[in-house]
């Protein structure tokens, strides 16, 4: 019996080894070819490219295929490839088959999927379904064998995240309004399960862990939220580690590490194998819950006490409403998701131990604005593509993170 291949944990110190020029515009999406030293990318320059490693150690395109319009997306299930090719008035999903040597791409069929640009594509091999969302606010799924449309659902806003659970046939759709919608899919119909919100900005990325049954959502509000779907306890853990909007998410199941990438160029690797705590609800009060000083809208107490009203703040650890004087300290609270220092009241600051301040995430500078991430768990390779027309693949070897780049 063959030994199971264990993915290598993500480590620090990325080193850029090489760069390759190619795409003339933003690389919207790219994936690592399974069991091959290759990458497939799609770009706003209307091209699909298959990059293979040559004897020289450099990566060069073996396929350069021009699509009829801009803004393609991509999903890959070897040996099929599904880039979307927008055309007026419909947007198509175009299915191709790659040859075994990755030197030829053959068109198989087109799917009449949406009335405007496709935003997300997902292929479900176990059910032979192709799931997609579009700027027409429609979610649709098709049979990949017949090409027949099986059903659809109209979302409240344009979808920007799409995930699927094979076991329960639940689809998760995140949209620009900040809402996450859960649908139960059948062969030819769907049922709305629930919707929920937690972000103050739009959802930009979703990632599903089918083992722990946890959904991660990234947002333009710079945060990531971990939703405990399987536990049915309504737990939502907030993760704060970016200074700009979160653009992409990926999850390493075997090592239980969440990878979040942002517009600030940061890659944050979160250790999810720790007992995390929910952030408390912010309490309402007309006066400081520590010193009882009135807040500036509490005219009655201001008049009675002959004191000037103060500005209200909140302690990120206990959630109490406090004044600036009673919350003059800052501290990181990693187990609550605050890797950066945040405002806490003085009593909570004294209670937080050095062990509680120990970081649960590592931070890396990708040196480009990331728009997409793909993780190959069997080899520990992490791919990112950015607005700078660059694709980078980080390969983890013996506590050392080496990188090759594709432009």
- Which tens digits make up the pLDDT trace of 280-321? 889 989 899 899 888 888 787 778 887 887 888 999 999 999
- Pair 112, 125 in one domain: yes
Residue 74: pLDDT band by 50, 70, 90 thresholds?
low
Of these ranges, 53-62, 83-92, 211-220, 372-381, the one predicted with the greatest mean pLDDT is 211-220
388 or 250, higher pLDDT? 250
What's the rounded Cα separation, in Å, for the pair 407 and 17?
Answer: 13
Domain count within the chain: 2
User: What pLDDT does 83 receive?
Assistant: 54
Residue whose pair of structure tokens reads 């406090």 in the numeric block: 322
User: pTM of the entire structure?
Assistant: 0.83
* pLDDT tops 50 at residue 88: no
CA distances from 227 to 168, 181, 188, 197, 199 (A): 17, 13, 28, 10, 12
**311-325 pLDDT tens trace:** 889 999 999 999 999
- Pair 241, 314 in one domain: no
Residue 210: pLDDT band by 50, 70, 90 thresholds?
very high
- Pair 129, 93 in one domain: yes
* pLDDT tops 90 at residue 268: yes
- Pair 98, 56 in one domain: yes
DSSP annotation of 325: G
Residue 305 belongs to domain with CATH number: 3.30.40.10
- Pair 226, 365 in one domain: yes
**347-373 pLDDT tens trace:** 999 999 898 899 989 998 888 889 889
Cis peptide before 79 (omega within 30 of 0): yes
């Amino acid at each position: 019996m063959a030994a199971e291949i264990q993915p290598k944990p993500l480590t620090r110190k990325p080193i850029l080894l090489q760069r390759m020029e190619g795409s003339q515009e933003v690389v919207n999406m790219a994936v690592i070819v399974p069991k091959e030293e290759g990458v497939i990318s799609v770009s706003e320059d209307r091209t699909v490219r298959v990059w293979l490693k040559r004897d020289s150690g450099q990566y060069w395109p073996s396929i350069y295929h021009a699509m009829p319009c801009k803004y393609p997306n991509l999903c890959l299930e070897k040996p099929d490839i599904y880039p979307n090719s927008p055309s007026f008035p419909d947007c198509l999903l175009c299915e191709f088959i790659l040859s075994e040597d990755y030197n030829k791409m053959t068109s198989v069929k087109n799917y009449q999927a949406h009335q405007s640009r496709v935003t997300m594509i997902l292929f479900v091999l176990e059910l032979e379904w192709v799931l997609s969302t579009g700027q027409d606010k429609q979610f649709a799924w098709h049979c990949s064998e017949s090409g027949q449309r099986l059903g659809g659902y109209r979302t409240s806003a344009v979808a920007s995240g799409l995930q699927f659970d094979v076991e329960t046939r639940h689809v998760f759709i995140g949209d620009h309004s900040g809402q996450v919608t859960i649908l139960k899919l059948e062969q030819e119909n769907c049922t709305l399960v629930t919707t929920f919100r937690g972000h103050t900005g739009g959802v930009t990325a979703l990632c599903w862990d089918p083992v722990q049954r946890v959904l991660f959502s990234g947002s333009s509000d710079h945060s990531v939220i971990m939703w405990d779907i399987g536990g049915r306890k309504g737990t939502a853990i907030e993760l704060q580690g970016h200074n700009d909007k979160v653009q992409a998410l990926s999850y390493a199941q075997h090592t239980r590490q969440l990878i979040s990438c942002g517009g600030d160029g940061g890659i944050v690797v979160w250790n999810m194998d720790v007992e995390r705590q929910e952030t408390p609800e912010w309490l309402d009060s007309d006066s400081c819950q520590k010193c009882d000083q009135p807040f500036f809208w509490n005219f009655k107490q201001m008049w009675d006490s002959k004191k000037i009203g103060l500005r209200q703040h909140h302690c990120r650890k206990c959630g109490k409403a406090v004044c600036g004087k009673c919350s003059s300290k800052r501290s990181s609270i990693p187990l609550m998701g605050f890797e950066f220092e945040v405002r806490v009241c003085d009593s909570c600051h004294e209670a937080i131990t050095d062990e509680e301040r120990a970081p649960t995430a590592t931070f890396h500078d990708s040196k480009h604005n990331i728009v997409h991430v793909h993780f190959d768990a069997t080899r520990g390779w992490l791919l990112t593509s950015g607005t700078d027309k660059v694709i980078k693949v980080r390969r983890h070897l013996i506590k050392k993170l080496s990188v090759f780049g594709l432009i």
